[in-house]
Structure 1
């Protein structure tokens, strides 16, 4: 259906043309899509969100977005640019403004949890080592209660603790970053909408 057809249906339901146009624009930009999730061993280790604009973002609008990034993430970051490509970043946290095939631009926000892989690796190594040593002690002593069980079991427990840390920290981190990116996407859409020409005035 065309925008005009949607607006006609909206008017019959008592919804203004301007409101329908704003809602349609939000859908096209991807404002309501869930964030992209990158997982490792079933746990989130990366999050990304993309919002599409139907025109090029001006220098002034990009500068306002950079202020938004800094305020939301609490870091100044580094701004880079080459041609129509622009980027703000801090470590693995990135906000990139890229051209689209239809002549507009898209804002892509992305980040990954840098230490997630390290804790998974430590968890795997220590768990395997600890359980292997426990098995050797059991094989040699026949599960003698007086045997030196503490060392192997402590190593295995350290591995399980590393996995537990990721299981607790990563979902919270994902939720926080996804919420921040959703807030930035909505605010960036408003920034671009404020500078866009009015398609239809509310009557």
Structure 2
């Protein structure tokens, strides 16, 4: 008996039905409270069946986490940091009461009410570019803090552009017939002085601002770790991430 062959229309219908079945299966898992995603052990098991060394799978997973952490590396403009960030691992998840205490500390530290959001196990507090998030990881939970100074970035960019335009002007001064020495000197003084002032104050403020924010982030992170550790010591852990066993 010859092997069954499928024409183009049949192939299309088969894949459409397979997609529908896959969607139904995912929906069923969700209704049963199944946890989305896969654990590292499950990934290693699947990789082993495909002939991939489990150590390589673990290294790839670690690389993925590191890539996400690298995304929080300081943002620099012309070599000057205009952002600050800090990430701390937590021994357990902060429950609602712990999170409320942390929010009080955040409002006190940054003198801002901010906005609080709850999405499942995710918690976040934000005020403009300032963001604090509690999020799950492969091994537990972490607190991610980051911010960016629009003021420093704006002054640094504005001052740099002012100096750039001044250089362009001086390079073309010979083409401008009606530009007197007095006018040229005035332009150099105004544009050069303004550019240097903007860029210089942005540079100085960047050092003070990043040092302050990093110190505040470290204090917030230490407080969050204390709250999580106290919850564990009391035997009332609001829940670690399941191991996937």
CA distance in 2 between counterparts of 1:172 and 1:76 reads 23
Contact 2:91 2:229 (8 Å CA) reproduced:
no
Q: C-alpha offsets along residues 99-156 of structure 1, whole Å, 9 cap, x if unaligned?
A: 1112x21111110111233223212321122222233336768xx8656421244213
Is 1:37 the counterpart of 2:70 in the alignment?
A: no
CA distance in 1 between counterparts of 2:182 and 2:144 reads 59
State the 4+ residue runs in structure 1 displaced beyond 6 angstroms: none
CA distance in 1 between counterparts of 2:182 and 2:112 reads 55
- What residue number does 2:204 align with? 168
CA distance in 1 between counterparts of 2:183 and 2:88 reads 61
Equivalent runs, 1:4-153 vs 2, <5 Å: 37-102=74-139, 104-137=140-173, 148-153=184-189
TM-score normalised by L of structure 1: 0.71
CA distance in 2 between counterparts of 1:168 and 1:61 reads 37
Contact 1:95 1:108 (8 Å CA) reproduced:
yes
CA distance in 2 between counterparts of 1:153 and 1:84 reads 57
Count of aligned pairs between the two proteins: 163
Is 1:158 the counterpart of 2:194 in the alignment?
A: yes
- What residue number does 1:182 align with? 218
User: Mind listing any 5+ residue stretches in structure 2 that lack a counterpart?
Assistant: 1-71, 236-245
Q: CA separation of 1:198/1:151 partners in 2, compared to 1, >3 Å: closer, same or farther? A: same
CA distance in 1 between counterparts of 2:191 and 2:205 reads 21
3-state SS in 2 of match to 1:179: helix
User: Mind listing any 5+ residue stretches in structure 1 that lack a counterpart?
Assistant: 1-34
Name which one, 1 or 2, has greater alpha-carbon Rg.
Answer: 2
Q: CA separation of 1:177/1:146 partners in 2, compared to 1, >3 Å: closer, same or farther? A: closer
CA distance in 2 between counterparts of 1:138 and 1:153 reads 19
3-state SS in 2 of match to 1:128: helix
